[in-house]
């Protein structure tokens, strides 16, 4: 069942869906491969928010305002709502919000209406190269067996490798890390690109994520929102010795610091500690803004170790039963309370820059947690056209001072593009903030240039009215 296409898009999350629809503006022969039974990738377990960081230059990332992409979606009839609340964090501004399941259905319908093909439950195996080492297609596999698609351009949008156990062990050795989002994000695109000489960015051992309820909690896509503790920047987090190890207020949306601090300071479980006031408050970092108490109860319902106590002493006893140092935990909380109330001259170490609220209103809660990865900051290196850069044809990605322009080379692998989380980000917090904005911007860029290249290879011009 081998066949031809102009563009093959690998991965059906937001970056893949956007890449496919964008490619169809320049070419009528575009194929989307998705190995899962359903489209959408991590979209169904996100808040559906497009956000940008207003204090960052878009040029440090990928070359297109997210606002332009939102207007493009609306022009296609895709429903993008104005956000209820503008600010996601002090620096990150929400500029649009989608109903994720509706978005997936609308995009899939548009792709098929415009002549695109969608192949679900179809696994991507490897890239094909011609005699000139240019992309010539892909090898894939479905229930009918292995087949090939001949194509001048391939866009990798498989969602990174946060679900690949071997790669996680390689970049995070000796760590007990849970997958925080999508079990199908197992690195096929990343691996295939590396196998033909793709260059990667720095940050492959820098994970964005947070914490999840510890075993025996059972976390599934159905209860993930009601159990997520990734954004608990109001609480105190302790290691098993009862000691704080990070500035919890910095564990915000888009941050990589919490996971790094957790891995460096906690051997097994950590413990989130909060009081009734925090329990009754809302998290303002998720688009659906649940009560923190809802997340506590979700963790408890999922089977996580949760202590509830009327006094700090009772809380310490409960932590003792979980294997933590309850006495030291109580002392840590008391020291923390005195510092944030201004009753002590002793400086908190680690510091607590924001959310300086005492843990003093009963009942008190402690939840055993472990680190999760949402995605990896590093990834495939791309140029301004979203072409994947060749390691063999390019100079180092490390900092250096060239003596002249001959010492600077960024050459792509002809015909290979990448979009979304597949792409490495240059900073913890980038202009595109998190995955949806990155997927929209890079997907549009990759889709446009991949299709234009395919048409140019055939000696054809893009349809009139495109640029």
Kindly state the helix (H) or strand (E) to which residue 265 belongs, with its residue range.
helix 257-265
- Residue ranges of domains in the chain, CATH in brackets: 3-204+377-457 (3.50.50.60), 210-373 (3.90.700.10)
Provide the 10 A C-beta neighbour count for residue 165: 12
pLDDT at 60 over 50: no
Q: Rounded distance, CA 30 to CA 111, Å?
A: 9
Q: pLDDT digit string (tens) for 266-319?
A: 878 999 999 999 999 876 544 446 688 888 998 999 999 999 999 999 999 999
CA torsion angle for 345, 351, 357, 359 (degrees, to 10)? -90
The mean per-residue pLDDT over the stretch 327-334 comes to 97
DSSP state of 53: E
Task: In whole angstroms, give the CA distance from residue 25 to residue 447.
Answer: 9
The answer on pLDDT for 265 being more than 50 is yes
| Choice between 275 and 432, residue whose per-residue pLDDT is larger | 275
> Of 111-115, 181-185, 213-217, 285-289, which gets the smallest average pLDDT?
285-289
Q: How far is CA 142 from CA 163, 191, 389, in A?
A: 21, 19, 29
pLDDT digits (tens, 9 = 90+) for 138-175: 999 999 999 999 999 999 999 988 888 888 888 887 66
Alpha carbon separation from 140 to 158, 166, 448 (Å, rounded): 14, 22, 23
36 φ, ψ to 5°? -80, 165
pLDDT of residue 425: 76
Residue among 218, 208, 227 nearest 375 (CA): 208
Lowest mean pLDDT among 164-168, 379-383, 416-420: 164-168
Max Cα–Cα distance, the chain, nearest Å: 77
| pLDDT 10s digits, 73-104 | 999 999 999 987 776 666 778 889 999 999 99
Q: Which residue has the tokens 């097994």?
A: 268
Edge-to-edge order in the sheet of strand 123-129: 3-4, 145-150, 135-142, 123-129
Residue 106: per-residue pLDDT: 98
CA 35/CA 202 separation, integer angstroms: 28
How far apart are alpha carbons 304 and 218 in whole angstroms? 8
Of 66, 68, 69, which Cα lies nearest the Cα of 92?
Answer: 66
CB 118 within 8 A of CB 112: yes
Half-sphere exposure of 443 (CA within 13 A, CB side): 34
Q: Cβ(254)–Cβ(428) under 8 Å? A: yes
Six-digit token string for 78:
């895709």
Residue 250: its pLDDT value, please? 77
pLDDT for 366 beyond 70: yes
């Amino acid at each position: 069942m081998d066949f031809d296409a102009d563009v093959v898009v690998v991965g059906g999350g937001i970056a893949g869906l956007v890449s496919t629809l964008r490619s169809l503006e320049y070419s009528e022969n575009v194929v989307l491969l998705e190995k899962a039974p359903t489209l959408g990738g991590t979209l169904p377990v996100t808040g559906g928010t497009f956000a940008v960081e207003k204090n960052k230059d878009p040029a440090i990332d990928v070359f297109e305002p997210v606002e332009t992409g939102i207007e493009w979606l609306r022009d296609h009839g895709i429903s993008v709502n104005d956000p209820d609340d503008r600010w996601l964090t002090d620096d990150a501004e929400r500029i649009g919000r989608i109903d994720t399941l509706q978005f997936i259905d609308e995009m899939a319908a548009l792709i098929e209406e415009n002549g695109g093909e969608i192949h679900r439950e179809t696994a991507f195996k490897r890239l094909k190269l011609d005699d000139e080492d240019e992309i010539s297609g892909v090898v894939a596999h479905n229930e009918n067996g292995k087949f090939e698609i001949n194509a001048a351009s391939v866009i990798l949008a498989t969602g990174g490798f946060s679900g690949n156990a071997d790669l996680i062990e390689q970049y995070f050795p000796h760590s007990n890390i849970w997958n925080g989002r999508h079990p199908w994000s197992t690195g096929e695109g990343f691996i295939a690109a590396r196998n033909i000489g793709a260059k990667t960015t720095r940050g492959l051992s820098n994970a964005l994520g947070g914490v999840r309820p510890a075993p025996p909690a059972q976390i599934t896509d159905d209860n993930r929102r009601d159990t997520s503790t990734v954004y608990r920047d109001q609480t105190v987090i302790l290691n098993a010795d009862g000691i704080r190890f990070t500035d919890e207020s910095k564990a915000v949306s888009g941050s990589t610091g919490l996971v790094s601090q957790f891995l460096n300071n906690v051997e097994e479980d950590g413990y989130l500690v909060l009081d009734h006031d925090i329990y009754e408050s809302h998290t303002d970092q998720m688009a659906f803004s649940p009560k923190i108490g809802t997340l506590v109860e979700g963790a408890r319902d999922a089977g996580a170790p949760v202590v509830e106590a009327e006094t700090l002493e009772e809380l310490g006893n409960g932590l003792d039963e979980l294997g933590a140092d309850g006495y030291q935990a109580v002392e840590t909380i008391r020291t923390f309370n005195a510092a944030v109330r201004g009753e002590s001259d002793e400086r908190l170490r680690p510091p607590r820059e924001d959310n300086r609220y005492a843990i003093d209103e009963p009942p008190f809660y402690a939840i055993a947690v472990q680190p999760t990865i949402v995605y990896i900051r590093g990834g495939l290196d791309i140029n301004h056209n979203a072409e994947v850069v060749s390691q063999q044809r390019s100079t180092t990605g490390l900092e250096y001072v060239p003596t002249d322009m001959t010492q600077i080379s960024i050459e792509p692998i002809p015909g290979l593009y990448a979009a979304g989380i597949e792409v490495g980000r240059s900073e913890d917090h980038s202009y595109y903030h998190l995955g949806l904005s990155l997927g929209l911007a890079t997907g549009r860029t990759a889709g446009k240039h991949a299709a234009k290249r395919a048409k140019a290879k055939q000696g054809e011009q893009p349809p009139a009215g495109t640029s």
